[in-house]
């Protein structure tokens, strides 16, 4: 097998504490550090599909795709341990991929132990089916070969037909991609320790949020030409207990960086074309937004927080969470039911406006099915938030293979197909 493991591409080297221990320390309560049990980090899990083609008798032939994964696991494992991903559909195994983990050195404090894998894939583990694919994720101990099943998640794989321009045009192999629509309300607030001398107080995703800064993870789907102007105008407006919240010397709000991003091109024949093609672009983005306050402000202002992510005079997201009287951030009900985000991170309530201008496509059905790649919602608040996600645009790019003599298909979505070649 042609197996490659590229460890930890832009994955966090985040300090690892259980949420309960982290909250206790942040509130000034002593807590003895202990290594967390092996568990999946739901917040940093990510999948992508890589299309594969071959050439037969001079023609390009579709061979399907292989899946790539990024994962972090809380807990301690020895060297030579691995994570195994088993992909199946309707009970039939499609592929199995094993990658050796990268183990950061946290011997000074076992509570920070974790392992991670970035860009784990096997080119030979080809899959040809689309739709919902179940993924069993388990660890294998490098000393004992003991296996621990961490979770089963679901990835939704779609495909897009391609055509090359010319007279006549030529059908090309399909492009395959993983839908991330289900992550649109998977908004994670993360912060540093309130103790500036804490040597383990690293950022949850390690993208420039250091010291006492606070970040928020936001997911969306938009064409580059739609999202870039909206992102450039980002600002954040917050309230605490219904009152506007501003502080002297607050950090510059809304600095952004991509944690993960996948971009898909579709080449198609526009209506009336005799051979020239147009390009339609779709992009899924998992982005970090810097918040306009510090972790000390969270601790010192208990109550109900709401923050609006804004652009061009409109709200594009509304987030809400609660800070307890002792200054600890209250974990979301989903975290109490097993959602694991690790240290100093909480899932926040998320509202998606229908006319914010950031989201070009949504799929409410995927959101209702669950977050974090199909983890079913267990709380009423999460189910309510999921049910409120508006339907925007067409969820997927159309799969309409080119056939000689067939009329050209229009692009899906009101803002697609602007560029020609």
Average pLDDT over residues 119-142: 97
The token pair at 347 is 């899932």
Q: Which distant-in-sequence residues (6+ apart) come within 8 Å of 281 by Cβ?
A: 223, 224, 225, 263, 264, 265, 266
Tokens of 117: 């894998």
Task: Provide the total of helices (H) and of strands (E) in the chain, helices listed first.
Answer: 6, 21
Q: What is the DSSP letter of 112?
A: G
Say if CB 114 and CB 149 are below 8 A apart.
no
In eight-state DSSP terms, residue 411 is P
pLDDT in tens, 44-68: 999 999 999 998 988 889 999 999 9
E-assigned strand segments in 222-368:
235-240, 243-244, 256-268, 278-294, 303-311, 314-323, 345-347, 349-351
Q: What is the pTM of this model?
A: 0.85
- In this prediction, residues 173-194 reach a mean pLDDT of 91
Residue 179 is predicted with a pLDDT of 96
- More confident position, 268 or 86: 86
End-to-end CA distance of the chain: 39
- pLDDT tens figures, 308-332: 999 999 999 999 999 999 999 999 9
Structure tokens at 266: 């579709």
Domain ranges of the chain: 3-420
Band (3; pLDDT cuts 50, 70, 90)? very low
């Amino acid at each position: 097998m042609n197996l490659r493991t590229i460890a930890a591409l832009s994955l966090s080297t985040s300090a690892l504490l259980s949420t309960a221990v982290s909250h206790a320390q942040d509130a000034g309560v002593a807590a003895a550090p202990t290594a967390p049990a092996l568990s999946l980090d739901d917040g940093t899990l990510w999948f992508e599909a890589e299309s594969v083609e071959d050439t037969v008798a001079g023609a390009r032939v579709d061979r399907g795709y292989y899946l790539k994964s990024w994962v972090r696991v809380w807990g301690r494992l020895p060297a030579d341990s691995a994570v195994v991903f088993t992909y199946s559909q309707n009970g039939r195994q499609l592929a199995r991929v094993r990658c050796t983990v990268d183990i950061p050195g946290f011997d000074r404090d076992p509570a920070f132990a974790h392992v991670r894998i970035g860009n784990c894939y096997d080119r030979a583990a080809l899959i040809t089916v689309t739709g919902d694919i179940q993924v069993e994720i388990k660890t294998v101990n490098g000393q004992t070969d003991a296996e621990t099943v961490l979770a089963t998640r679901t990835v939704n794989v779609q495909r897009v037909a391609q055509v090359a321009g010319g007279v006549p045009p030529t059908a090309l192999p399909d492009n395959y991609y993983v839908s991330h629509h289900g992550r649109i309300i998977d908004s994670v607030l993360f912060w540093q320790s309130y103790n500036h001398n804490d040597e383990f107080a690293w950022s949850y995703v390690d993208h420039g949020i250091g010291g006492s800064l606070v970040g928020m993870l936001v997911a969306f789907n938009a064409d580059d030409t739609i999202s870039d102007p909206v992102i450039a105008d980002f600002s954040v407006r917050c309230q605490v207990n219904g009152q506007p919240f501003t502080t002297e010397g607050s950090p510059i709000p809304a600095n952004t960086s991509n944690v993960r991003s996948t971009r898909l091109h579709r080449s198609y024949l526009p209506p009336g074309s005799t051979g020239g093609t147009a390009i339609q672009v779709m992009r899924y983005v998992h982005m970090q937004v810097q918040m306009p306050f510090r972790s000390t402000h969270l601790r010192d202002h208990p109550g109900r927080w709401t923050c609006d992510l804004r652009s061009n005079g409109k709200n594009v997201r509304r987030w809400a969470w609660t800070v307890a009287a002792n200054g600890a951030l209250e974990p979301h009900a989903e975290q109490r039911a097993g959602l694991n985000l690790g240290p100093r991170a909480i899932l926040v309530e998320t509202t998606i406006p229908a006319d914010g201008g950031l989201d070009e496509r949504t799929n409410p059905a995927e959101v209702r099915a669950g977050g974090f790649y199909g983890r079913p919602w267990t709380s009423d608040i999460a189910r309510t938030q999921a049910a409120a996600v508006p339907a925007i645009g067409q969820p997927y790019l159309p799969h309409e293979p080119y056939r000689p003599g067939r009329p050209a298909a229009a692009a899906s979505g009101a803002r697609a197909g602007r560029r020609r070649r």
